[in-house]
Amino acid sequence: MAKKVFVAAIEKNSGKTTTSISLMHLASKKYRNVGFIKPFGGHTVQFRGKVIDKDVALMAQVFDLRWDLEMMSPVVLTPGITRQIVDGELPPEHLQERILKAYQTLERQCDFIVIEGSGHPGVGSIMEISNARIAHMLQAPVLLVTGGGLGDVVDRLAMIEAYFEKERVDLRAILANKLIPQKRERTLDYLRRALGRRSFQVLGGFDYQPVLANPTLRRISTVLDLPVHGDQRELQRIIYRVLVAAASTQRFMELLKEPSLIVVTSSRNELLVTLAHLYQMPKYHPLIVGLVISGSMPINEITQQILDKSEIPYIRAEKSISADLYQRINSDISKIVAEDREKLDLIFSLAESTLDFDALDSTFSV
């Protein structure tokens, strides 16, 4: 029988997928056949001719998984499925059976399986396939990914533990994630003392890494649904800061201190030309990830020629103003995709230096 761990999260965007990637990477160094399953998911993509959960597609690409895709993504949410459940047109038992059969098939082929939940532990309750219920159904011990705070984590755990107890979930450990480096040991010490009477362990996850939450140029193109012109080799570069070019050219140059995406209106010819030239200089090239050029006014013909010759990556957003673009970009929480090699390499490195996989493996083998 395969060893297994169900990765759940205290809330959305806690670092569940990053944790799953880390476990897959570390498990692959110890076990020959490592599998992945996301019992149900709400965000789908078309991959290898199948409609599956996006995280399944990510894992399949990153770890070259050749298991049946539909086995790794047995239930995907389609429009109207919740109403079908409530109306009695689709029995919840049908979804449960699909998940159980997929898992049992995968289990026969694997030595170690990472099971990734969706959202917080109660997601899917309307279909009677909440994360907690699935964990019990698959008899999978749970690793609960939390934030790096104290009071908020303990308070949220009080509600989740009650729900887990109701669903008879085996909570083995919590993974305190996104810890502030200077407070890491102090936070873990307080968490362990505050939760000392609980049966689960308190493990330390990653320190807060802004780069993992920062988008790439490719991600911005997806968010805005607009193509990137210029050097396509730069699509994977990570954006550390989004700058709106509202100040003078000289003042703006003083603000350019880290890899930035620059939002600039099409009428700022002087600045566009300056940025195009700077992009070709070794000193400034690392600081300019690309441009988002807003405004309905056509770009000056000579300016356009200079932009094209420089190959500076840019997105032309003719129907938007700078303020709206800035808000849309900053409100997006970047998700990792298989093309984000810089982020993936960082996750692998952090996993190897931060997580004690042998200890975790032992905890979830009991």
pLDDT of amino acid 366: 65
Q: What's the pLDDT tens digit per position in 157-189?
A: 989 999 999 999 999 999 999 898 899 999 999
Q: How confident is the model at residue 251 (pLDDT cuts 50, 70, 90)?
A: confident
Where do we find the tokens 């140029």? 217
Average pLDDT over residues 280-290: 94
Q: How confident is the model at residue 285 (pLDDT cuts 50, 70, 90)?
A: very high
Q: Other CB atoms closer than 10 Å to residue 120's CB: what's the count?
A: 21
Average pLDDT over residues 291-307: 95
Average pLDDT over residues 255-280: 93
What separation in angstroms does the CA of 319 have from each of 243, 261, 267, 323, 355? 19, 19, 14, 12, 46
Contacts of 365 (CB under 8 A, 6+ apart): 3
Average pLDDT over residues 40-65: 91
Q: What's the pLDDT tens digit per position in 187-243?
A: 999 999 999 888 899 999 999 887 787 888 998 999 999 999 999 999 988 898 899
The three-point CA angle 155-179-331 to 5° equals 85
Q: What's the pLDDT tens digit per position in 82-115?
A: 899 999 999 999 999 999 999 999 999 999 999 9
Tell me if 265 sits within 8 A of 283, measured CB to CB.
no
pLDDT of 32 above 90: yes
Name the pTM for this structure: 0.81
CATH code for residues 3-209+337-363: 3.40.50.300
Average pLDDT over residues 36-41: 94
The residue with greater pLDDT, 249 or 61, is: 61
Most confident option among 12-26, 210-224, 298-312: 298-312
Give the CATH number of domain 215-331; options: 3.40.1390.20, 3.40.50.720, 1.10.10.10, 3.40.640.10: 3.40.1390.20
Tell me if 347 sits within 8 A of 212, measured CB to CB.
yes
Q: Is the dihedral of CA 57, 59, 63, 65 positive or negative?
A: negative
Query: Chain centroid to CA 294: how far?
Result: 28
pLDDT of amino acid 293: 96
- Give CA–CA dist 326/307, Å, rounded: 21
Tell me if 6 sits within 8 A of 138, measured CB to CB.
yes
pLDDT of amino acid 2: 87
Q: Is 337 left (phi over 0), alpha (psi -120 to 50) or beta?
A: beta
pLDDT of amino acid 196: 85
DSSP, residue by residue, 246-279 = -S-HHHHHHH--SSEEEEEETT-HHHHHHHHHHH
Residues of the chain with CATH 3.40.50.300: 3-209+337-363
Average pLDDT over residues 279-283: 94
Q: How confident is the model at residue 13 (pLDDT cuts 50, 70, 90)?
A: confident
Q: How confident is the model at residue 77 (pLDDT cuts 50, 70, 90)?
A: confident
Q: Is the dihedral of CA 298, 303, 305, 310 positive or negative?
A: negative
- Give CA–CA dist 60/62, Å, rounded: 6
What percent of the chain clears pLDDT 90, i.e. is strictly above it? Answer: 66
pLDDT of amino acid 343: 87
- Give CA–CA dist 17/21, Å, rounded: 6
**Mean predicted lDDT score pLDDT of the chain:** 91
